[in-house]
């Protein structure tokens, strides 16, 4: 029996608008504004959130860490730092701490959504005939893609398609990957409660990405396929556990901070 030949023109996205708290959304937009204003500030943001996953420190401690990151760019990497952009960025980051309006959950949402936002903006700039959406349910001929599989309801954070150049890009954003790795290691046969649920969800996410890779590589008219997990962790910090991803490609901070990637964000 011949495998179904998927045609990109029949791929549709059903995406419910995500309800993001206004104050969280505004911070993400401000972060992006200062990220694209200065390359060093972009790298400072990425390093800052990678090493500060909670907002329970004092502003004095955080201020010192931000200054250290500035010095790192100037001394270690020989990068100039725009003084005005850095001043505004530092104030923005400090305001996330000792602030009753920014909960711990808000803070985690901010850096997670920041990663999704730069991924979205990167794909958005790559072609005027493309369509990029957040967390869509992917449908084929009005039916749920892989509807007969138990992982079919998995959704990836950013999905892009371009019918003109036959491109399909599917990205799952995992800020640091360590929690995702932990859930992939869960023995779902013995785990219970929320841990079992998280383990099942993580494995279904990988199964979904694997299926997208296999189907659209071998049984479709897609020419440019890109299926990746995007993370702001460095490749060296996560490489020891990469086998858990079962062959799914990674886009790490090493790639996100490449100048060609950054230049696309500024367009």
- Residue 74 lies inside a defined structural domain of this protein: yes
Distance CA 141, CA 196 (A): 34
Q: Are residues 93 and 28 in the same domain?
A: yes
Q: Are residues 85 and 207 in the same domain?
A: no
Q: Are residues 83 and 160 in the same domain?
A: no
**pLDDT tier at 195, thresholds 50, 70, 90:** very high
Q: Are residues 227 and 141 in the same domain?
A: yes
Backbone angles phi, psi at 123, to 5 degrees: -70, -35
Give the HSE-up count for residue 91: Cα atoms under 13 Å, Cβ half-sphere: 8
Q: How high is the pLDDT of residue 124?
A: 84
- Residue 17 lies inside a defined structural domain of this protein: no
Q: Are residues 135 and 235 in the same domain?
A: yes
- Tell me, rounded to whole angstroms, the distance of Cα 146 from its chain centroid: 23
- Residue 14 lies inside a defined structural domain of this protein: no
Q: Give residues with Cβ within 8 angstroms of 68, minimum separation 6.
A: none
Q: How high is the pLDDT of residue 160?
A: 95
Looking at the structure of the chain, the number of domains it has is 2
Beta bridge partners of 131: 161
- Residue 110 lies inside a defined structural domain of this protein: no
Q: Are residues 84 and 158 in the same domain?
A: no
Lowest-confidence region among 6-15, 121-130, 189-198, 245-254: 121-130
Q: Are residues 144 and 240 in the same domain?
A: yes
pLDDT of 267 higher than 90: no
Distance CA 120, CA 114 (A): 10
Q: Which domain holds residue 148?
A: 130-265
- Residue 148 lies inside a defined structural domain of this protein: yes
Tell me which of 105, 121, 155 is where a domain ends.
105
**pLDDT tier at 108, thresholds 50, 70, 90:** very high
Tell me which of 105, 121, 138 is where a domain ends.
105
What is the pLDDT averaged over residues 139-162? 92
Q: Are residues 195 and 160 in the same domain?
A: yes
Q: Are residues 88 and 148 in the same domain?
A: no
Q: Are residues 146 and 100 in the same domain?
A: no
Full-model pTM: 0.94
Distance CA 133, CA 129 (A): 14
Q: Are residues 211 and 169 in the same domain?
A: yes
The 3-class secondary structure across the chain, one letter per residue, is: CCCCCECHHHEEEECCCCCCCHHHHHHHHHHHHHHHHCHHHHHHHHHHHHHCCCCCCCHHHHHHHHHHHHHHHHHHCCCCCCHHHHHHHHHHHHCCCCCCCCCHHHHHHHHHHHHHHHHHHHHHCCCCCCEEEECCEEEECCEECCCCCCCCCCCCCEEEEECCCCEEEEEEECCCCHHHHHHHCCCCCCCCHHHHHHHHHHHHHHHHHHHHHHHHHHCECCCEEEEEEECCCCHHHHHHHHHHHCCCEEECHHHHCCHHHHHHHCC
Q: Are residues 205 and 78 in the same domain?
A: no
Write 194-200 long-range contacts (CB < 8 A, 24+). Answer: none
- Residue 9 lies inside a defined structural domain of this protein: no
């Amino acid at each position: 029996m011949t495998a179904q030949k998927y045609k990109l023109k029949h791929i549709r996205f059903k995406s419910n608008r995500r309800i993001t708290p206004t104050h969280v959304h505004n911070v993400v937009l401000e972060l992006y504004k200062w990220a694209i204003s200065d390359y060093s500030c972009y790298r400072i943001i990425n390093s800052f959130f990678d090493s500060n996953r909670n907002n329970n420190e004092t502003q004095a401690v955080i201020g010192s860490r931000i200054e250290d990151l500035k010095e790192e760019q100037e001394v270690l990497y020989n990068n100039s730092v725009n003084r005005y952009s850095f001043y505004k960025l530092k104030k923005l980051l400090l305001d996330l701490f000792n602030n009753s309006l920014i909960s711990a959950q808000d803070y985690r949402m901010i850096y997670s959504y920041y990663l999704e936002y730069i991924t979205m903006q990167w794909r958005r700039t790559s072609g005027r005939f493309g369509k990029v959406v957040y967390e869509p349910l992917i449908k084929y001929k009005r039916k749920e893609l892989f509807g007969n599989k138990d992982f079919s309801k998995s959704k990836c954070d950013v999905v892009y398609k371009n019918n003109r150049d036959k491109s399909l890009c599917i990205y799952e954003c995992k800020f640091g990957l360590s929690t995702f790795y932990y859930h992939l290691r869960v023995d779902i046969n013995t785990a219970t409660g929320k841990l079992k649920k998280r383990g099942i969800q993580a494995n279904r996410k990988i199964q979904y990405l694997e299926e997208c890779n296999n189907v659209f590589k071998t049984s479709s008219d897609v020419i440019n396929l890109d299926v990746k997990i995007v993370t702001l962790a460095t490749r060296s910090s996560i490489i020891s556990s990469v086998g858990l991803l079962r062959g799914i490609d990674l886009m790490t901070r090493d790639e996100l901070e490449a100048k060609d990637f950054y230049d696309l964000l500024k367009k």
